[in-house]
Amino acid sequence: MPGAASALASLTAAALPRDMEFVFVVPRTALFPDCYPHGLAAFGEQPPSTGGSDDKLSLAAFETAVARDGFFVERPYAERTPSLKQVIPYSIIVCDERVLLFQRLATGGEKRLHGKLSIGIGGHINPEDLGEGSQSSSDKKPARSPIAAGTQREIAEELDVRGTYTVRRVGLLNDDSNPVGAVHVGVVQVVYVDGSVEIRERDQLEGRLVTVDELQTLLDGGANFETWSRLLVPRLDELLKLPLSAHP
């Protein structure tokens, strides 16, 4: 499908065909110009590099790459194109100093996740997350990052938050060890809830708030965590102690 990326980059969200599923992607080289890290690459840290760079992974550089290089492409094409990374906001929900642990039931939409434990709320960024009038008139690309809108939509769809919440982006989660991971990248976010939180889609999810120690015990005992959660649980103590820096 040569030229698909450049062709779709020039389309506004409203112009995308309604009978196709489009997902937001960023070229792999725009996200990881020096290396392809495995697991969590935290913002402010130097990821493992094969190019000899001493640069630390920068949140500002990531957000610039999303705004400058991100675009929508048909999902079937994205699923077979590892040179493009589908951007997935992956939010860890924290309330009363505990983490929301949930399990997707067999009635849920994504069969690959049925029965697995997870600490992340997330999904693809959709064209609707750009909103009307959010395109730059000069180059027809997003005038702002759609990550915030995608995060808000996913939380509203899956959770009932009574109160307010603050989002902090902490790093990128990359796993090229399997075909699914090779075409996705997780934007890891800690969402601090001031109030209460419950599962909204109880026919598809069940969940409870647990301590970090409980999560580590479950992981050590061989609990059936999804891959991204399994990579994140060992670093939760570190992530939750980082200084709070809010994002819209």
Tell me the pLDDT tens digit for each residue of 111-167.
565 678 999 998 999 998 886 544 443 444 444 568 999 999 999 999 999 999 999
Q: Give the pair of three-digit tokens for residue 188.
A: 């890891």
Residue 78: pLDDT band by 50, 70, 90 thresholds?
very high
CA 15/CA 17 separation, integer angstroms = 6
pLDDT at 215: 97
Strands 84-95 and 184-199: parallel
| 230-238 long-range contacts, CB within 8 A, separation 24+ | 231/39, 231/40, 231/173, 231/175, 232/40, 232/92, 232/119, 232/120, 232/173, 232/188, 233/119, 235/40, 235/42, 236/92, 236/99, 236/119, 236/212, 237/212, 238/42
CA 29/CA 169 separation, integer angstroms = 21
Q: Does the structure show a pLDDT above 60 at 240?
A: yes
Q: What is the pLDDT of residues 21-69, one digit of tens each?
A: 999 999 999 998 877 788 898 888 876 554 455 678 889 989 999 999 9
Task: Tell me what percent of the chain is helix, strand and coil, each rounded to the nearest 5.
Answer: 30, 30, 40
Count of beta carbons in the 10 Å neighbourhood of residue 208 = 12
Strands 121-122 and 117-118: unpaired
Q: Does the structure show a pLDDT above 80 at 245?
A: no
Domains of the chain (ranges, CATH numbers): 88-240 (3.90.79.10)
